Structure 1
Amino acid sequence: MNKTVTKIAIALIIGGIFFLLAFNFFSIKQAYLIGIVAFMVTLWTNEALPLGVVSLFPIILFPAFGILSTNATSINYSKSIIFLFLGGFMLAIAVEKTNLHKIIADKILSLFPPTPKGIIYSLLITSAILSSFLSNTTTALLLLPIGMFITENKDLKMRFVLSIAYGASIGGIITPIGTPPNLILLGIMEDKGLEMIPFLKWIFMIFPLALIMLIFTGWILSIGAKNIPLKREMFEYKITKEQKKVSFAIIALILVLLINTPIKPYYEGLGLNEKGILLFFGLLMFMPPFNILEWEDSKKIPFEIIFLFGAGFAIAKAFSNTKLDHAIAEYLLKTGDISPYLILLLIAALITFTTEITSNTALT
């Protein structure tokens, strides 16, 4: 109890300090917004309160400080992009419930030689593929026992576990639903009136980068690894009717997304909304003839992440409404001596460091 109070007090102090500093450079509303964001980021970082609870603070604080009205704030918690996340997560729960992911993992692992380098790359690639549609945490928990028990060599065990962790992080960027920050980006793009990146176009854009990262990461983790033969335990399985149903749904989803993707100027696509497509296939898991999910399974949906989406969209709207985004941009433009590339490098370095101590989603 005392620790929680202390952490909240620290967050209030940090929020107050940021408000006072911002007051010297920005308007009062903009300073309020900076203070509130600093307060929330601190709570997200020190985990004084549950993630979802902190994410609902804008609904109370923004109207209280005259930043946004209650309606203008709360509408951000029901953005259409959230339903893309819901549909994708329903499919992920169906994959996990039927243990289809274990078969996928075993098939991929069997493609590589039983050497330290082969296992490192197999774990990297398996983790990346699974985390492109499952959560990073679920993927890591699934593969961790494999990485831990392939060998008793502590050095190799550490390399295998790191392969799983890095593979999950890299795989999360491959699809729009692979990790929540991707969806937050798409939501903000939609809010700003920018053209949305189609599902398959995202994959085609990001996959080459992810592949380079996987190859380079595997090479780094393989340096100095002793080339000793390893034995991977095989397990016998028979593909169940439920696994076939989920596999069929995923293949059908991919085909629909392919057909729906426009190839301008030759083909306009079906014109269907991808959020609706993902949600439809997610809901199919509850319906005949699939009957994979029950309402009890919906408890596995991380609603705190949905609230976090809403908080991110509300903060973005507040930045726009108070013109804080323009004020910061103008301030950066005034520092004309600084190269735009240097600014990008500094921002990337700052974000990379900050994600070491706080949630990627919260930071986004």
Structure 2
Amino acid sequence: LRVPFPWQEALCGYVIIVMALFWCSEALPLAVTALLPVLLFPLMNIMDSTTVCQEYLKDTNMLFLGGLVMAIAIETWNLHKRVALRVLLITGVRPALLLMGFMVVTAFLSMWISNTATTAMMVPIAQAVMEQLHKSEAESGTTGQVSEHTNKAFELQEKSPDSFKEPEEKGEWLVGNSHVLTVEEERERSETIEKKHLNLSKGMSLCICYSSSIGGIATLTGTTPNLVLQGQVNDIYKDNGGIINFASWFSFAFPTMVVLLILAWIWLQILYLGFNFKKNFGCGTSPAAKAKEQQAYEIIKKESKKLGKMTFAEIEVLILFVLLVVLWFTREPGFIPGWATVLFNKDNTSYVTDATVALFISLLLFILPSGFSSQDRDQEQTGGRAKFRAPPPLLDWKVVQEKMPWNIVFLLGGGFALAKGSEKSGLSAWLGTKLTPLQSIPHPAIAFLLCLLIATFTECTSNVATTTLFLPILASMAEAICLNPLYVMLPCTLSASLAFMLPVATPPNAIVFSYGQLRVIDMAKAGFVLNILGVLTITLAINTWASSLFQLQTFPSWANRTGT
């Protein structure tokens, strides 16, 4: 590509376009593309190398690292699997409740650990339950079939003289022949069972990948686009007063997640189960069906028993996790002064952030022991004296190094570098002047159209790249039309997680698709409606509870970068 004009704005726009093309086509690895500003911005005299490099390790990156260390500890000690199986034992295995159980568990886990790890853990559990349900239904049908069909056959033979006629005289084959009738009915019955099983399997697979994406939006550390937003807001608007923190984000995003999760549950029921209340919720269930459900329930119970009692390490990790969440919520709750304001505030400057809390808990994971000291008796080395062996810590660096997605750190940094480059080059201000005609469009319509655009774009590229590219542009647009920047940045960040239509849109979709039960058309059909429901839900959220929470109806002073 050749830059036609030697303007600083055009040069920065050129870098953004090149990175967008590379991110969409994956001509280079995503993380490598994110490093291009380190090379191109100094060569184009947009920013010096030292300033660019400083953008790659900010407070948001440290929050991301601290949150993931906690997630790795949960995965290492199988605490997430114990929680998942316990909830499934509570909800039961009736179709609608089973669907709801898997969705609730998956969404909850995705709030705290990566969407990919959650999906990879939940799909095998769902497959085991589905196989047992299918096997039980096939066996229960075969057991009571012979006597029932034999009686019908004898009645037909005794009561129908026509059964002795030749097939040509009757115009049909021997309906009185019990063997022929049984085979035909068995074939129809088998087809019905297979179709039912396939539909339920499709619904179960989709419910897991969809709820993992939906659950990730509820917490600030649940998925990377949320952290991209926080970093961009803090980078572009330095005097925002920490408006995006764990507590404020949760207050906005958690209700949105709950509404969208319920809508997804209803839609998948309608699509794959048929919304039959009596059938789906087990009202008036036959003894055979109850036996089938009990067998599937035993599978989950057996898996839960395999885990045994909670170990000392699991209890420690659970306590640290609860402590982390409590400290995040109470640091700066908004309606009262938080502990950070009371204890660590000087000259109206808060010295403690969510990243501080995350790294404090992460440090404890490398210090606290995973068990109690054990005694060894080695006659040769200790002369028969007891030798105490210290237990390993809850986490060691080798495990973290293997499981940590380091590429996301560079992706976050690349986004911050682009935002800073847009500001330094004047591209943000130039875009703002060009977008002023949007002022005549109603604000809810702007939010809806932008959400639709982002939801469509994120089907083709990663949600991190999508938010990284669009958020600085949206901030400039909002300033140009005197609209609170959060009014467009918040919903578009959530919309970047609405990757429901294609297997390549997000790793959870690819995982469930790899099991071979879904076709692309299945995911596209279910995902299209869910995308529309998601955009409508987010538009509703931003114009109701989010508006009062963030005062979105006013243009804040911290957003006025021009001073006019």
Per the normalisation by structure 2, the TM-score is 0.58
1:195 is aligned to: 241
**Displacement of 1:285:** 1.1
Structure 1 position 98 matched with structure 2 position 77:
yes
Structure 1 position 132 matched with structure 2 position 114:
no
2:363 is aligned to: 283
For 1:211, the aligned partner's letter is: V
- Deviates further, 339-348 or 130-139: 339-348
Distance 2:399 2:24 in 1: 29
For 2:216, the aligned partner's letter is: G
Between the two proteins, the alignment pairs up a number of residues equal to 342
The 1:65–1:204 alpha-carbon spacing in structure 2 relative to 1, beyond 3 Å, is same
1:112 is aligned to: 91
2:267 is aligned to: 220
Distance 1:221 1:200 in 2: 31
Distance 1:263 1:307 in 2: 31
Match of 1:208 among 251, 255, 275: 255
For 1:285, the aligned partner's letter is: L
2:218 is aligned to: 174
Contact 1:89 1:282 in 2 (8 A): no
Structure 1 position 57 matched with structure 2 position 36:
yes
CA-to-aligned-CA distance 1:188-223 (integer Å, 9 cap, x gap): 121122232231232122111111001111000011
Match of 1:328 among 423, 431, 437: 431
Distance 1:363 1:303 in 2: 19
| SS of equivalent residue, structure 2 residue 56 | helix
Larger Rg: 2
1:246 is aligned to: 317
Structure 2 unmatched runs, 5+: 135-196, 281-288, 342-351, 371-392, 468-564
Distance 2:53 2:262 in 1: 43
| SS of equivalent residue, structure 2 residue 108 | helix
CA-to-aligned-CA distance 1:116-161 (integer Å, 9 cap, x gap): 2111111111111111111111111111112233224111111111
- Deviates further, 131-140 or 341-350: 341-350
Distance 2:253 2:128 in 1: 32
The 1:345–1:205 alpha-carbon spacing in structure 2 relative to 1, beyond 3 Å, is closer
Alignment of 1:284-323 (within 5 A): 284-290=364-370, 291-299=393-401, 300-323=403-426
CA-to-aligned-CA distance 1:80-133 (integer Å, 9 cap, x gap): 111111110000000001111100111122221312211111111111111111
Contact 2:9 2:430 in 1 (8 A): no
Match of 1:270 among 340, 343, 354: 340
Distance 2:218 2:11 in 1: 37
Distance 1:40 1:362 in 2: 9
**Displacement of 1:225:** 0.3
The 1:95–1:268 alpha-carbon spacing in structure 2 relative to 1, beyond 3 Å, is closer
Per the normalisation by structure 1, the TM-score is 0.88
Alignment of 1:10-159 (within 5 A): 16=2, 19-20=3-4, 23=5, 28-151=7-130, 152=134, 153-159=197-203
- Deviates further, 189-198 or 347-356: 189-198
- Deviates further, 214-223 or 292-301: 292-301
Distance 1:346 1:60 in 2: 35
The 1:73–1:126 alpha-carbon spacing in structure 2 relative to 1, beyond 3 Å, is same
CA-to-aligned-CA distance 1:214-269 (integer Å, 9 cap, x gap): 111100001150647542422202211211110111122233334433454x5443
CA-to-aligned-CA distance 1:300-347 (integer Å, 9 cap, x gap): 111110000000000011111122122212111135544444333332
Distance 1:49 1:336 in 2: 38
Structure 1 unmatched runs, 5+: 1-12
| SS of equivalent residue, structure 2 residue 435 | helix
2:466 is aligned to: 363
Contact 1:109 1:119 in 2 (8 A): yes
| SS of equivalent residue, structure 1 residue 111 | helix
Match of 2:229 among 185, 188, 199: 185
How much is the aligned-residue C-alpha RMSD, in angstroms? 1.9
Contact 1:52 1:307 in 2 (8 A): yes
Distance 1:262 1:218 in 2: 31
**Displacement of 1:287:** 1.1
Match of 1:344 among 447, 454, 459: 447
- Deviates further, 145-154 or 37-46: 145-154
Contact 2:330 2:338 in 1 (8 A): no
Contact 2:70 2:362 in 1 (8 A): yes
| SS of equivalent residue, structure 1 residue 358 | coil
Distance 2:461 2:329 in 1: 36
Contact 1:189 1:195 in 2 (8 A): no
- Deviates further, 340-349 or 272-281: 340-349
